[in-house]
Amino acid sequence: MKVLVLNCGSSSLKFQLIETDEAMAREGRDRTLAKGLVEDAGGTAVLHYEAEGKKPVRDAIGAFQHRKAVEKALAVLTDPENGVIPHKDEIGAVGHRVVHGGEQFQSSVLIDDQVIEGIEAMIALAPLHNPANLQGYYAAKAELPDVPQVAVFDTAFHHTMPREAYLYGLPYSLYQRFGIRRFGFHGTSHRFVAGRLAALLKREGDSGLRLITCHLGNGASACAVLGGKSIDTSMGFTPLEGLVMGTRCGDLDPAALLFIMGREELGAAEASALMNKHSGLLGLSGLSNDMRTLLEAEEKGNERARLAIDVFCYRLRKYIGAYAAALGGVDAIAFAGGIGENSPAVRERTLRGLEGLGLKLDPKRNGEAKGKEEQISPEGPGARVFVVPTNEELMIARDTVSLVSPVRD
């Protein structure tokens, strides 16, 4: 089946056309036929598209609207010259990344009116993302009215966290009244990477398997996975908690924020911008949110770039230690996301000094591993460490197929 995977932001649409079915997924034979992005670039949306064996396409389409973006995606996918399908009827299902599923959605679901209500109910918790995800649904519904659509939630994988992991040390009534708790995000990525680790270790279905997955992109989070289930993760009520990220501060003493708000006379919106947009690697370095830029600047002697990278790696190291404790040991760790997949230096600095926990890197393997699934720890006893390129779109396509395919005996 050909599945259109949509990831809608407030002014962007990422799409992929993926061919998969249950047998292809089992044997890892699924294929990404084409991928693209429609993104607002200063008032005008631009389409970037590529497919194997075709010319890449770049095209301006006027002001960004989800409906127009989906229309454009379908037009390029069916284009006689650069497209990969003759007609949009070839699309058997649409899978959406939905950011917030709250406590209601514990796995992926076929979208119907009740599910739409549920996603709407979570808008208060994800005011930028969930409305955009719904826009994507309506846009696809208009273009492909008879095609089933599936929602795959960023939060769903973490629904297995125990209460002691998801509750804050706040009055319990705040959880009861407003649902203040830790949800965790990046769940689709952590689930994919944990699944790959279990397969690489040939321990699929082992309820005692102890994994730590590190998704390190612009947003970053770590996850403790026991027997295939998330038991803790570093993001919380929002994606702000946990690791130091490109522009987000991660863990912070809330009293420090109150102090800054008083001193700088900041309102809630400004305080939120400070923590979400001006902090993290960017705020610490004063230079960039981009890890590659910082590594290059550090090479040239930029001390603040070094500091930002040090804080990033140290925070992650602390989480790895904490999750080793939560899991009662570690069998394997995976590094994923743009930074995790491509930066031997960050991986090395993160795991430095963790030999006592059985975590060691093979310098040659680590130095050479870039963007490919590979073991980077030495052979022998101790935990194994891997680079595992994540593939959230593939996970969404697989979930979509399994929900829309008729059940077979």
Task: Report the interface residues with ligand ADP, using CB under 6 A.
Answer: 217-219, 246, 290-292, 295, 337-339, 342-343
Q: Is 136 helix (H, G, I), strand (E, B) or coil?
A: helix
- Smallest distance, ligand ADP to C-beta of residue 199, A: 22
**Which DSSP helix (H) or strand (E) runs through 252?**
none
CA pair distance 193, 214, nearest whole angstrom: 9
Pairing mode of beta strands 229-233, 220-226: antiparallel
Rounded (5°) CA angle 277-387-403: 80
CB atoms within 10 A of CB 342: 19
Residue (136 or 337) nearer to ligand ADP, CB: 337
Residue (118 or 344) nearer to ligand ADP, CB: 344
CA pair distance 375, 384, nearest whole angstrom: 7
Using CB positions, name the residue nearest to ligand ADP: 338
- Smallest distance, ligand ADP to C-beta of residue 266, A: 27
Residue 154: active-site member: yes
Which one of the listed residues 30, 154, 232, 331 is annotated catalytic? 154
Alpha carbon of 345 to those of 179, 222, 241, 290, 310: distances in Å?
Answer: 39, 18, 24, 14, 11
Residue (184 or 337) nearer to ligand ADP, CB: 337
Q: Is 123 helix (H, G, I), strand (E, B) or coil?
A: coil
CA pair distance 187, 198, nearest whole angstrom: 16
- Smallest distance, ligand ADP to C-beta of residue 288, A: 8
* Cα within 13 Å of Cα(231), Cβ side: 18
- Smallest distance, ligand ADP to C-beta of residue 54, A: 23
Per the CB < 8 A criterion, the answer to whether 130 and 122 are in contact is yes
Strands (E) in 176-247, as ranges, are 210-216, 220-226, 229-233
CA pair distance 318, 234, nearest whole angstrom: 11
CA pair distance 106, 103, nearest whole angstrom: 7
For the record, the structure tokens of 405 come out as: 């395919």
- Smallest distance, ligand ADP to C-beta of residue 293, A: 6
Residue (92 or 337) nearer to ligand ADP, CB: 337
Residue (274 or 345) nearer to ligand ADP, CB: 345
Residue (160 or 218) nearer to ligand ADP, CB: 218
Per the CB < 8 A criterion, the answer to whether 290 and 297 are in contact is no
Residue (292 or 372) nearer to ligand ADP, CB: 292
Query: Which of the 8 DSSP states describes residue 333?
Result: E
- Smallest distance, ligand ADP to C-beta of residue 372, A: 13
CA pair distance 243, 250, nearest whole angstrom: 5
Query: What is the rounded end-to-end Cα distance, in angstroms, of the chain?
Result: 19
- Smallest distance, ligand ADP to C-beta of residue 62, A: 25
Active-site residue list? 154
